[in-house]
């Protein structure tokens, strides 16, 4: 082998290694998290993909680095104690992100002052909150909120709305499904007049290793929770397998709709649920839910993730609260 040929091969090898390094490096998500008001960095903030096991924390200087999984196409969420969460639908892995969180100063201060004299009411409100937040299913009875003292309320008898606030992330042990859950609550409201509940926040899951001996029991319960859920619906819709999952979609006219009637694609082949009116989703002719559109196009992906700000569910899917939620990594055990 001549010197020239050897040097050429060596050069190509170096270039290949550089390319692989840069490709690997480009998969990192990195940045800093700041207080929107003071512009100071926020240590130990959570950076994660909502509804998954995947996440990390900022260091003492507010800096974070995390690998960007190839199979995740959902937004990045950043949460911290005493702040509203921020969700980033679009972000570049090659650039350092600067993220600003808004403090919850007003809500938490008011809630804390008003609950000091509401000991008896607080007990009643806590029971009500757990029912509306966790649900009333069999799984909900096996769920425990580990830091109930961090939940407070702002309610006056002459007002129609009960509001709940959490000064820290709500920690939940789901003994039914084998998960430990961290939930960052941004808003919880119960409207007395209409008896409707609205809550929004972000969630990260962790396998409860101490209960691994109950795997078979967990698998059965998880499979049941998956059935007739929004996750099953969007996964079946994404793969165009509605019929195989015994799922029907009906429009306002009562006509059954197909995949091509309700799914729109953009230039990058991202999928969106789209309709000129609300839809009825049926599972095996036994369970029915209504999709009330808040946006014209609602993004969803193959994991079952969907843009929660674009849909309001009523019916059977709406009855499945936090106690029956599954991480987006969930797959049915064969």
Q: What are the tens digits of pLDDT across the range 59-108?
A: 999 999 998 887 677 889 999 999 999 998 877 666 789 999 999 875 54
Supply the pLDDT for residue 94: 64
Cα angle at 327 between 323 and 330, to 5 degrees? 115
Pick from 251, 271, 253, 255: which is nearest to 263 by CA? 271
- Say if 143 falls within a structural domain: yes
Distance between CA 24 and CA 11 in Å, rounded? 20
Same domain, 234 and 315: yes
- Say if 331 falls within a structural domain: no
Same domain, 247 and 273: yes
pLDDT band at 178 (very low <50, low <70, confident <90, very high): very high
Give the bridge partners for 297, in sequence order. Answer: 274
- Say if 329 falls within a structural domain: no
Residue pair 195/167 in contact (Cβ under 8 Å)? The answer is no
Helix (H) or strand (E) holding 108: helix 105-115
- Say if 217 falls within a structural domain: no
Q: Which of 101, 119, 138 is the last residue of a domain?
A: 101
Give the percent of the chain with pLDDT over 90: 64
Same domain, 111 and 50: no
Q: What Rg, from alpha-carbon coordinates, does the chain have?
A: 23
Supply the pLDDT for residue 258: 95
Distance between CA 248 and CA 286 in Å, rounded? 11
Buried b (16+ CB within 10 A) or exposed e, 205-239: beebeebeeeeeebeebbebbbebbbbbbbbbbbe
| Number of domains within the chain | 3
CATH number of the domain bearing residue 18: 2.60.40.1120
Supply the pLDDT for residue 2: 52
pLDDT at 15 over 70: no
DSSP-derived secondary structure letter, 179 = E
Helix (H) or strand (E) holding 86: strand 86-88
Supply the pLDDT for residue 111: 52
Same domain, 115 and 205: yes
DSSP-derived secondary structure letter, 169 = P
The CB-side HSE value for 253 (13 A sphere, CA atoms) comes to 5
Supply the pLDDT for residue 215: 86
| Residues in the chain, overall count | 334
- Say if 218 falls within a structural domain: no
Mean pLDDT of 236-249: 96
Residue pair 111/128 in contact (Cβ under 8 Å)? The answer is no
Supply the pLDDT for residue 112: 52
- Say if 70 falls within a structural domain: yes
Q: Count H helices and E strands in the chain, helices first.
A: 7, 21
pLDDT digits (tens, 9 = 90+) for 119-170: 788 888 899 999 999 999 999 999 999 999 999 887 665 578 888 999 899 9
- Say if 306 falls within a structural domain: yes
Pick from 75, 65, 74: which is nearest to 97 by CA? 65
End-to-end C-alpha distance for the chain, whole angstroms: 55
Q: Which of 68, 83, 101 is the last residue of a domain?
A: 101
Q: Which of 101, 128, 148 is the last residue of a domain?
A: 101
Domain with 184 in it:
105-211
pLDDT band at 13 (very low <50, low <70, confident <90, very high): very low
- Say if 287 falls within a structural domain: yes
Supply the pLDDT for residue 89: 81
Helix (H) or strand (E) holding 237: helix 230-238
């Amino acid at each position: 082998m001549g010197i020239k040929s050897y040097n050429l091969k060596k050069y190509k090898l170096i270039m290949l290694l550089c390319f692989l390094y840069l490709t690997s490096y480009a998969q990192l998500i990195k940045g800093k998290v700041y207080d929107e008001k003071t512009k100071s960095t926020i240590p130990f903030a959570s950076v994660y993909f909502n509804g998954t096991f995947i996440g990390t924390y900022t260091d003492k200087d507010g800096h974070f680095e995390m690998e960007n999984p190839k199979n995740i196409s959902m937004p990045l969420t950043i949460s911290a104690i005493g702040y509203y969460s921020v969700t980033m639908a679009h972000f570049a892995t090659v650039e350092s992100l600067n993220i600003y969180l808004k403090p919850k100063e007003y809500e938490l201060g008011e809630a804390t002052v008003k609950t000091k004299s509401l000991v008896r009411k607080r007990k009643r409100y806590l029971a009500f909150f757990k029912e509306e937040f966790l649900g009333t299913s069999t799984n909900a009875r096996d769920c425990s909120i580990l830091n109930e003292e961090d939940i407070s309320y702002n309610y006056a008898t002459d007002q129609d709305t009960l509001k709940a606030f959490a000064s820290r992330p709500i920690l939940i042990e789901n003994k039914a499904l084998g998960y430990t859950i961290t939930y960052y609550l941004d808003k919880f409201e119960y409207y007395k007049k209409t008896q409707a509940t609205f809550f929004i926040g972000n969630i990260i899951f962790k396998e409860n290793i101490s209960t691994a001996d109950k795997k078979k029991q967990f698998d059965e319960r998880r499979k049941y929770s998956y059935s007739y859920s929004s996750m099953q619906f969007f996964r079946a819709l994404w793969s165009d397998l509605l019929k195989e999952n015994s799922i029907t979609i009906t429009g306002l006219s009562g006509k059954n709709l197909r995949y091509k009637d309700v799914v729109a694609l953009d230039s990058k082949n991202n999928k969106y649920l789209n309709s000129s009116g609300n839809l009825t989703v049926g599972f095996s002719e036994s369970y029915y839910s209504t999709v009330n559109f808040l946006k014209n196009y609602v993004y969803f992906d193959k994991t079952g993730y969907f843009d929660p700000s674009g849909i309001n569910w009523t019916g059977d899917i709406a009855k499945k609260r936090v106690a029956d939620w599954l991480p987006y990594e969930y797959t049915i055990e064969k």
